[in-house]
Structure 1
């Protein structure tokens, strides 16, 4: 199942900038591993903002929750602003053709 995820860094007053970069370095290595595994379809840093967006492929919302809250090195410093489940447009188009009378 695909999810669009928008995250904002929430570190101000909690850790130093040096500590942030150390944790973010671990997060970057983790992101590279998940891209190579196919779990992350794409990930982008929003220019001039403390924000990252990603499209991830998880088997379920529960697995996304486990990853977001338990596996990410930055988990304590990320606010998940938006999480949208994504539906394949081809399947939607088929339902439209059938007027959702399946």
Structure 2
């Protein structure tokens, strides 16, 4: 019998994992930086992450989404991971959490 896990608990685990991924140019994790727009988890434990980059010309445009997919895929119980990259709305500094702004000396 397969272990059952609450979808909300899995979502929280995904967020904890996202907080271990850092933008190489900014010493703040991508979740607090505001690059993660949404995380969807369905009843089959398939995950879709809607994310952006600080700019379309971001030097890690190829590697950062792959890192997100690999790390989230490694979470126990996660089946499939889809990353959707969007620039609508474009990322702005206002999307950062208070914690990120404090870390970067913006408060």
Query: Do Structure 1 and Structure 2 share a fold, with TM-score over 0.5?
Result: no
Query: Which structure has the larger Rg?
Result: 1
The TM tier, using the shorter chain, reads 0.3 to 0.5
Q: TM-score, normalization: structure 2?
A: 0.39
Q: Pick 1 or 2: higher relative contact order, CA cutoff 8 A, min separation 6.
A: 1
Larger strand share, 1 or 2: 1
